[in-house]
């Protein structure tokens, strides 16, 4: 089983990835299923609709971080005892034995240009190697974005637990996760 077979930290039950987020959105993408291109003249509402639709189709999970900066994500087997600011549960389909961590820049370049692909060259190493199947994903945001500063940088920013599921759940979101319009 490949589950969580990336950046393995032999001293703990966690794996860490980091991504710079300059716009407040990051996500985990199945690059085989996620529909990238929207239109050369897309508007924010078009991109937000795509994020919501593709999350509801289980092709990805995209969420609003609430701030812009370097985001550290620990993929763990068991959550730490640290309190979380907020959390969410959903599912994602893995069909090509991987998910990629992406940011808003990656997603919007693909939305605007038909020949752009996910993952971007800059973030192609942010890969989670997983067995194919439906995964239950539980994300915990470990900081309040309104109190986020470089002086009190959270470590990690997010804890994520992935578990291969035995069944698909019909779960739908009305908006992009944690996006306040």
| Residue 175 is assigned to a structural domain of this protein | no
| pTM for this entry | 0.91
**How many folded domains does the chain comprise?**
1
Q: Does some domain include residue 63?
A: yes
In tens, the pLDDT along 13-62 reads: 569 999 998 999 999 999 999 999 999 999 999 999 999 999 999 999 99
Q: Give the 3-state secondary structure of the chain.
A: CCCCCCCECCCCCEEEEEEEECCCEEEEECCCCCCCCCCCCCCHHHHHHHHHHHHHCCCEEEEECCCCEEEEEEEECCCCCCCCCEEEEEEEEECCCEEEEEEHHHHHHHHHCCCCCCCCHHHCCCEEECCCEEEEEEEEECCCHHHCCCCCCCCCCEEEEEEECCCCCCCCCCCCECCCC
Would you say residue 180 lies in a domain?
A: no
| Residue 58 counted as domain residue | yes
Instruction: Specify if 96 maps to a domain.
Output: yes
Structural domain boundaries, residue 37:
14-164
- Please write the tens of the pLDDT for every residue from 141-171: 999 999 887 788 889 999 999 999 999 999 9
Q: What CATH number is given to the structural domain containing 159?
A: 2.60.34.30
């Amino acid at each position: 089983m490949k589950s969580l077979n990336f950046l393995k930290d032999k001293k703990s039950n966690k794996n860490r990835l980091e991504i710079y987020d300059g716009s407040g959105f990051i996500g985990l993408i199945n690059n085989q299923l996620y529909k990238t291109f929207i239109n050369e003249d897309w508007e924010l509402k078009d991109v937000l609709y795509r994020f919501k639709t593709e999350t509801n189709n289980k092709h990805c999970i995209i969420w609003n971080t609430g701030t812009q900066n370097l985001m550290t994500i620990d993929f763990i087997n068991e959550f730490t005892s640290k309190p979380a600011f907020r959390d969410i549960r959903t599912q994602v389909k893995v069909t090509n034995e991987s998910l990629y961590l992406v940011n808003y820049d990656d997603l919007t370049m693909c939305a605007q240009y038909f020949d752009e692909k996910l993952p971007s060259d800059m973030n192609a190493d942010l890969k989670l190697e997983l067995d194919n199947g439906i995964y239950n994903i539980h994300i915990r945001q470990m900081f309040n974005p309104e109190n986020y500063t470089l002086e009190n940088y959270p470590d990690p920013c997010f804890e994520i637990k992935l578990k291969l599921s035995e069944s698909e759940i019909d779960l739908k979101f009305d908006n992009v996760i944690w996006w306040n319009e």
